[in-house]
Chains A and B, each alone.
Chain A
Amino acid sequence: MSPATRDADGVTQASGDSALAALRGATTEVALSPLTLDVNGEQRTIHVPAGTTLLAALRDDLGLTGAKYGCGHGGCGACYVLLDGAAAAACTLVAEEAVGRSIVTIEGLGQGDALHPVQRAFLEEDAMQCGYCTGGMIMAAVALLARTPNPSDDDIRDALAPHLCRCGVYGRAIRAVRRASR
């Protein structure tokens, strides 16, 4: 590795050819603690820095990218998973808080090739466009129908309300949840 040039502040200058000479290998050691999570019915052990969010653990350590990063403060609903059957924002939970609890992600919702009825209803209503919010909406709907099998229109809207959709498929999503409740 060629030496990096540094300015007075000790900053790596990475312009032109020297861009290829940026510092590497000087990584500060990170203390990693083992955690075992119950994800989609399997016990999975990972080693992550203290304070790692459940969302990062799922996406970066367990390869489950169906829960999306959208805002990092539980404000958009793209990262929702089921935690002991209830819909929860994975971005506001520290992974350690999920130890000993059942975690289900959108990838674990169906049984093999068989879709969950809510997934099927979203397909049948084409209740999606770009799909970025769809997984979160489906998780919210699954949690809703588990506790309220025959939801009112307001119940459905309330359950979906934390899930922002910019493409504007709310009407279809509401219909999909109603369809799945039948």
Chain B
Amino acid sequence: MTPPRQDPAWPAREPEQLERRIAIEHDGTIVARSGKVEYGQGIRTGFAMIVAEELAVAVDRVRVELGETDSVPWDMGTFGSMSTATDGAALRAAASLARSILLERASTRLGVDRSALALRDGSIVGQDGRAVSYTELTADEPLRGTVPLDSVEPRVPGPLSDTPRRADALKIVTGRARYPADVRLPGMLHGHVLHPPTSGARLGSLGDAAARAVPGVVAVVRDGDFVGVVAERGEQALAAANALQASWCAPTDASGEETSLTLREDTGVSAAFDGAQVLDAAYHLPHVAHASIGPSAAVADVREDGAHLFVATQRPFALRDAVAELLGLSLERVHVHPQAMGGMFGRGNMSDAALDAVRLSRAVRRPVLAQWTRADEFRFSPHRPVLDARLRAALDASGRIVAWEYEAWTNPHTYGGPGAWPRMVEMTSGRNAVPPYALGAARIQLHVAPGELRTGAFRSLAAAPHVFAIESFIDELAVASHQDPIAFRLRHTGDPRLRRVLELVRDRSGWPDRPRSSSRGFGVACAIYHGTYVAEVAEVAVTRDHEYRPQRVWCAVDAGRLVHVDGARNQIEGGVQQALSWTVFEELRHDRRRVTTAGWRDYRIATARDAPREIDVAFVDAPDLPSTGVGEPGTVPTAAAVANGVFDAEGARIRRLPLMPQAPSADALADSTSTS
């Protein structure tokens, strides 16, 4: 798969300027800057390790600045598990250039050839013991220059970075990590916005007498269809917002335009089905919620001469641009300050609360903290699109796939709407719709249209849903042709990296020898996600009440060169845990127009009681291959691995998430997959 940064649909990378990336401060601190943001995935730590390694200093000497729009290089956003692959590489190249410049200057200063110099703990030393520090070498002349893209000088051997703790860990365990809702500015007020019950609804009449009578209320702010309350205290703002009497007019413009794409169309697909063993099946995934534990919140301080935003966002520069447009300010007068962020999982691509705070602060000319409630978050967030997929495949007499048809219907995974250009739709809603196997003659089609609910980016976009359908169906094909599911996959791929993770997870899990029974099954699934290879085996226990309990998950991952091994492991473990929750519990409740789920009471996610006994993560050692991402890949094959494990135990094929025992009649149907 082509990495997105090389795709014509994405802006071409500009040559990097070293001075925007790396600086040496007077006390020897090395500042490293990136437009990416940290929301728990650990890039602050990983970036510090990369720069520390290149400049041969201890990791805690590096301070990483992320997403501050005034100082960091422009960036499109933090998504797609690409931070380490793209900005990690950019920082490595910048630090490599910095090292080269420092060595050159030290060579001049000490009158010693470069080859006789070594880097040691923030200084450059000659063989005679004379040393000059990075600070001295940059005191009169800061680091500056154009960073050659994709060229990193061979590193001078230096002390290997130790494996540090998460850079923010101490603040987190002492309660000092500051999330947007924790920001307290002088004179700050609290705001709450009344959201339209359905996306795009128009505000008709508004009665605000009762809201104004709530003690502490400072203003009721109406701006077109936007309405919110500002008060001295948060509870007062919420009470006043609840006291507003608003009538909304449902949107007349349904704008349900469908984009249809053919992702692959070989010749002779229909003919390839003739005379072969044919299977078909349909799969469905419901809407699920990001369900970040921290509801959206943001502080805005809008003044005549500019605006400061204290926010959680995955796109600081896009937010800056949107706020500049809203306020009629030039870009440099909008200052975005990313705070500690609750897990985003795609939610932070839309900075709703930040825009709320800006409108409220503009109206009252004081800093305002806009806080969404848990109910707001369920009702008014964009959610993961539904997916309906129909699959049909043909096997030849030897059990090899000779024909493949895949047609899927889903909703937009980005916020551009149906007008987004086809290549973007393919890269988002079509992500991982093409299986990594030899398929014979294949036709793969995708239909994307807005549905009943607001939808948007969700961890891995369409990858996890497509892979649930595809990898479950691959299991059906293996079973129907009496082949071992891992052997069947190996038989259909020549990609050595995919083969390696399948073989590794087979060996780690003891796949062939695990005792199966009607109450215990094992399932496998795999994927290649943005260059990261991942294969998972799930052990599923089936209780007497036919509840499905994932007991253990083994993961084999090839993400190229790892930067922070335990951080990568944490990401894969967390991805699997979150995906297990999607798989066995989650479904957003809604009617034709709106979300009816309002709180945790009617949206179950996995708790510590539901956590599997073990999530075993094994990385393929690939130090010479470029680093790829680990934030999303762990989530992608999990649902299929579990569903395949349920089949292994019960012999029932469940083609819908969340996995629930099917009524006997449905079981019978599921088992009578048409065979011709």
Using a CB–CB distance below 8 Å, which chain A residues touch chain B? 7, 9-15, 19-20, 22-31, 49, 51-53, 56, 59-60, 63-73, 75-76, 78, 105-107, 109-110, 115, 119, 122-123, 126, 128-135, 138, 156-158, 160-174
Contacts and interface: CB of A to CB of B under 8 A. Distances in A.
Given A11-B206, A53-B235, A166-B291, A131 B599 contact: no
B177 interface: yes
Given A27-B215, A133-B293, A161-B607, 6 more contacts: A22-B230, A63-B184, A72-B373, A75-B600, A126-B166, A163-B607
Contacts of B293: 68, 70, 76, 78, 130, 132-133, 164-166
A123 B190 CA distance: 33
Given A72-B374, A131-B40, A164 B600 contact: yes
Contact of A12 (B222, B606, B607): B222
Given A9-B206, A60-B233, A70-B293, A170 B371 contact: no
Contacts of B205: 9
B600 A130 contact: no
B404 interface: no
Given A65-B175, A75-B599, A168-B577, A131 B345 contact: no
Interface string B356-377: 0001001111000001011000
A171 B220 contact: no
A45 to B, nearest CB: 17
A154 B609 CA distance: 8
Contact of A14 (B218, B222, B599): B222
Contacts of B172: 128, 131, 134-135
Contacts of A75: 374, 599-601
B223 A164 contact: no
A27 B235 CA distance: 15
B577 A22 contact: no
A167 B179 contact: no
Nearest to B567: A126
Given A10-B208, A72-B374, A166-B605, A171 B611 contact: yes
A90 to B, nearest CB: 12
B174 A119 contact: yes
Given A14-B222, A56-B234, A131-B340, A138 B173 contact: yes
The size bracket of the interface on B is: 35 or more
A171 B343 contact: no
Contacts of B612: 171
Given A9-B207, A157-B609, A169 B573 contact: yes
A60 B42 CA distance: 29
Interface in B225-272: 227, 230, 232-236
B608 A71 contact: no
Given A22-B363, A164-B605, A130 B169 contact: no
B165 A123 contact: yes
A105 B182 CA distance: 15
Nearest to B188: A60
Nearest to A163: B608
B562 to A, nearest CB: 15
B100 interface: no
B374 A70 contact: yes
B60 to A, nearest CB: 14
A10 to B, nearest CB: 7
B575 interface: yes
Most buried by B among A12, A52, A109: A12
Interface string B581-614: 1000000000000000001110001111111101
B578 interface: yes
Interface string B635-669: 00000000000000000000000000000000000
Q: Please provide the 3 A-B residue pairs with the shortest distance between their CB atoms, ordered closest to farther.
A: A66-B175, A168-B577, A130-B40
Nearest to B581: A168
24 contacts: A11-B220, A13-B223, A14-B362, A22-B230, A23-B218, A26-B212, A27-B232, A30-B216, A56-B235, A68-B181, A71-B600, A75-B600, A126-B166, A126-B566, A128-B40, A129-B40, A129-B343, A131-B40, A132-B179, A135-B175, A157-B609, A161-B608, A166-B293, A167-B578
A10 B209 contact: yes
Contacts of A67: 175
B221 A12 contact: yes
B214 interface: yes
B391 to A, nearest CB: 29
Contacts of B573: 168-169, 171-172
A170 B607 contact: yes
A69 B165 contact: no
Nearest to B635: A168
B256 to A, nearest CB: 29
Centre residue among B182, B184, B293, B601 by max chain A CB count within 10 A: B293
Contact of B216 (A11, A15, A28): A28
Contact of A134 (B173, B178, B291, B362): B173
B173 A128 contact: yes
B97 interface: no
